[in-house]
């Protein structure tokens, strides 16, 4: 690939389970939160299938596994506690997936604009990406709190593309869950999912255009998907 091949493209990434393996720190904060209510700890593998809709839903799912359904006010309190636990040591064990930094550098060298579209809060996304020295690659980092309708709503994806200075017609979504596929489909954009992400069903069942087994496949996949766009 030569420099400039993706000069008009915007590549949009999910964060948790796509760019960064955050599950070890998420399960730490979740279990500290569960302990407040005396609920059993959640195992790491279980958390990997529960991530994707933000902290509040993660807590609801964890509580439901223990047969507990909290009122909204209690969920609000526990969500804030979770965020405090998580923020305090956000990148203790979180690491970019293998090949992420080389892939971002390669896409940028080809002229692509890069963005993050995540159901994580924007401030936490920035804190995490900064701790991992990844922030500067992205023209836009758009969390769930930065939009009126978050993923799987298409407007979240549209906002990420627009804030990066791109167009939907020349954009691609890279994610790991059904929410990522739905937000791209709703916006009329192609989507690829990583096989190693956080999902409770196989990646091949999500309905994406491409399933990626490693980050080395991201740039070639984006090139192919954009080449067939009208």
Cα(9)–Cα(181) distance, integer angstroms: 18
Integer-rounded Cα radius of gyration of the chain: 17
DSSP 8-state secondary structure symbol assigned to residue 12:
E
> Which secondary structure element, helix H or strand E, spans residue 34, and what is its range?
helix 23-36
- The whole-angstrom separation of Cα 130 and Cα 8 is 26
Tokens of 143: 């969390």
CA 128 to chain centroid, in Å, comes to 12
Residues recognised as catalytic: 14
């Amino acid at each position: 690939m030569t420099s400039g091949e993706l000069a008009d493209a915007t590549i949009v990434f999910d964060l948790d389970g796509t760019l960064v393996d955050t599950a070890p720190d998420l399960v730490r904060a979740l279990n500290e939160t569960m302990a407040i209510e005396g609920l059993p700890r959640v195992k790491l593998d279980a958390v990997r299938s529960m991530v994707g809709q933000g902290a509040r839903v993660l807590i609801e799912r964890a509580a439901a596994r223990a047969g507990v359904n909290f009122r909204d006010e209690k969920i609000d309190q526990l969500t804030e506690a979770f965020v405090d636990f998580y923020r305090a040591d956000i990148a203790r064990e979180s690491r970019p997936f293998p090949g992420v930094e080389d892939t971002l550098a390669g896409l940028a060298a080809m002229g692509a604009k890069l963005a993050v579209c995540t159901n994580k809060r924007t401030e936490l996304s920035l804190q995490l990406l900064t701790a991992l020295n990844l922030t500067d690659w992205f023209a836009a980092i758009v969390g769930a709190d930065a939009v009126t309708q978050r993923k799987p709503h298409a407007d979240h994806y549209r906002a990420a593309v627009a804030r990066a200075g791109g167009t939907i017609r020349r954009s691609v979504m890279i994610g790991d869950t059904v929410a990522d596929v739905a937000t791209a489909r709703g916006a009329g954009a192609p989507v690829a999912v990583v096989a190693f992400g956080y999902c409770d069903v196989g990646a091949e069942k999500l309905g994406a255009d491409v399933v990626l087994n490693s980050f080395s496949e991201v740039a070639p996949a984006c090139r192919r998907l954009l080449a067939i766009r009208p």
